[in-house]
Amino acid sequence: MIILINQMMSIVIIDKEETVNLKQLEVFLAVAESASFSRGAEATYITQSTVSQHISALEIEFGVKLFDRTGKGALLTDGGKILRQHAQQLIADSRHLATAMNQFKGIEHTSLIVGGSTIPGDYMLPEVFPLLLSRFPSLTLTVLQGDSRDILGKLGREEIEIGVVGSSFADEGFLFTPLGSDEIKLVVDRRHRWKRRTEINLEELQEETYVLREAGSGTGKTVKEALSWAGIDLAALKVNAYLGSNEAIKHAVAAGLGVSFISEISMKKELARGELAALGIKGLNISRHFYLVQRAGRELSPAAGAFAGIMAEMYGQAAV
């Protein structure tokens, strides 16, 4: 058995024919330890549907059922117990090997400056850093935030080495790598007349007053492009305020200042508490990708490469 580790993906090669992703084994162990697909998803920072995909892939790969779905939860089969024993050893070995190699490359005793636009900086990076620092405990991190254009500016001035933004631009000199996608929803406060509706028509958008993100934000750019595609000029809408952060937008909408378009990933708590209500727009789906961005033609430092690998691991296409 051979274990290969690199900065972007960890692969276990078994008998030189079968391949198993170490992320799949981590997900498998999380489900096994919690006896729950949903708690396994929370522990590994991915969706429950993605957990099911990883478990199904393992079952297909080995030709063995791994869990019995019972009223007491997801319980390991005998085959699953065998896999758990070996998976625990593989994960432990891979981490020891990664630590040894990272010490050799200097990741363990270095610093990394990362840029994040509003949504990634507030909601994605805080979830990534605990995992990054658990693997590289001596790494010192600095995070600089701004809108997507600000992050590109910081990158161009070499104030940061790598960034995560909510939109890509046709700027020469930058390399954009897609990460996971995000839905942007029309959001109203709990007193609004639309609060119990799940969908409105495009024509009804003209009736409302808005609170929007400032020019340069990834959310604002995506919303403008989507509305333009649907034949609606953003400039024709009545706007009460342009605000510089997603948190400010949420507070303004909750206070009744207007409705807005907000990233779904950023308002889970407010929706759960009933402070905001999200609606669809008939015939219009507003979504966007997040992107890792770096200077084109420049090799990343080992620390930045490790960060990029973990971002791909947690938010890459397979985790959408």
The pLDDT score that the predictor gives to residue 8 is 33
Q: Which residue has the higher pLDDT, 75 or 207?
A: 75
pLDDT tens, position by position, 81-136: 999 999 998 888 887 777 767 665 666 677 889 999 888 888 889 888 888 888 88
Burial degree of 47 (CB within 10 A; 0-12, 13-18, 19+): middle
Nearest partner of 68 among 35, 40, 27, 25, judged by Cα: 35
pLDDT band at 140 (very low <50, low <70, confident <90, very high): confident
Rounded Cα gap, residues 313 and 296, in angstroms: 22
Both tokens assigned to 143: 């995070």
| Superfamily of structural domain 110-179+289-319 | Periplasmic binding protein-like II (3.40.190.10)
pLDDT tens, position by position, 222-264: 888 888 888 888 888 899 999 888 889 999 999 999 999 998 8
Domain with CATH 1.10.10.10 in the chain: 2-105
User: How far is C-alpha 26 from the chain's CA centre?
Assistant: 18
Domain 2-105 has CATH 1.10.10.10: yes
Which amino acid is present at 106?
G
Q: Which residue has the higher pLDDT, 216 or 147?
A: 147
Contact 246, 217 (CB under 8 A): no
Instruction: Report pTM.
Output: 0.56
Assigned architecture for domain 183-287: 3-Layer(aba) Sandwich (3.40)
Domain with CATH 3.40.190.10 in the chain: 110-179+289-319, 183-287
pLDDT at 172 over 80: no
